[in-house]
Structure 1
Amino acid sequence: MVLKQRSCWVLRSTRRTSPQICRQAPRIISTFLESYDFSGKTIVPFCTSHSSGIGSSAADLHALCPDSVEWVEGMRFEAGTARDAMEEWIQRIGIG
């Protein structure tokens, strides 16, 4: 699911965040970024994981976007992170 909030897009799967496999975003996320024009938008990558960090997936996905996209540093949340903690992070980075 993609939620548009002002000029900000937040990518979410049905489980709250984008899944990640071995520190890489699934190819479907790459296809999504390549298929739409996100010029002038803000993208904030985030994921959940029991152990691995965000890895190079944020940099790899950023490379698929035009230079006019504002790319905010991403975050990995441990599995089971409370929704409140995620919403606090969203507020802290100024997109909420």
Structure 2
Amino acid sequence: MSRKILIVYYSHSSNTRKLAKLISAKTAGMLYELEPERAYPGDYTAVVDQAKKEIEAGYHPPLKTKIKNIADFDSVFVGTPNWWSTMAPPIATFLAEYDLASKTVIPFCTHGGGGSGYIEKNVKLACKKSTVLSMFSSYGSSVKDSNVEAWLKKNGIK
């Protein structure tokens, strides 16, 4: 049976976008980049400070982008940078606003040395009625095709 795959991601520095595009190329999944209504600052220190405050407050920033046909997909990859050991707030907004019950959710992240942190755990908490498969994490933009292939195969996607 063919899966209808959606790849939803938020990328601040383009590393997560690069990984999302690679996953799309390997799965023929539809790419969908989340955009907050108010963009995060470009300055590293400013975005780190803002992200920390938002995460600590449990803030879900409003999204500029909306997915109208989420029901059409049975597998949803969810990609985020690791911010303070968890998902970026735009991803938290997505998980709170969209019904992913009975869907297969596959998290992935990019990081600057912090690994996947608590992202997989937090995705499972946000998607209690979904099947959440094992997470993939990549340091910066150093993702390798073979590692993505192995992860997809392990999760039964390829």
2:105 to 35, 38, 43: 43
Superposition TM-score, scaled by structure 1 size? 0.75
Q: Match of 2:91, SS?
A: helix
Pair 1:54 & 2:54 matched: no
Partner of 1:81: 143
2:3 to 3, 6, 21: 6
For each residue in 1:54-92, what CA deviation from the matched residue of structure 2 results, as whole angstroms up to 9, or x when unmatched? 11122122212242x001121222231123421332122
For each residue in 1:4-63, what CA deviation from the matched residue of structure 2 results, as whole angstroms up to 9, or x when unmatched? x71554433423242121211111101101111111111111112231121112212221
Contact 2:85 2:117 in 1 (8 A): yes
Contact 2:115 2:139 in 1 (8 A): no
Unaligned runs of 5+ in 2: 11-16, 20-78
Superposition TM-score, scaled by structure 2 size? 0.49
Q: Higher helix fraction: Structure 1 or Structure 2?
A: 2
Contact 1:44 1:72 in 2 (8 A): yes
Which structure's CA Rg is the greater one?
2
Cα distance in structure 2, aligned partners of 1:77 and 1:36 = 26
Q: Match of 1:32, SS?
A: helix
Structure 1 segments (4+ residues) deviating >6 Å: none
Between 1 and 2, higher relative CO (CA 8 Å, sep ≥ 6) is seen in 1
Partner AA of 2:114 in structure 1: S
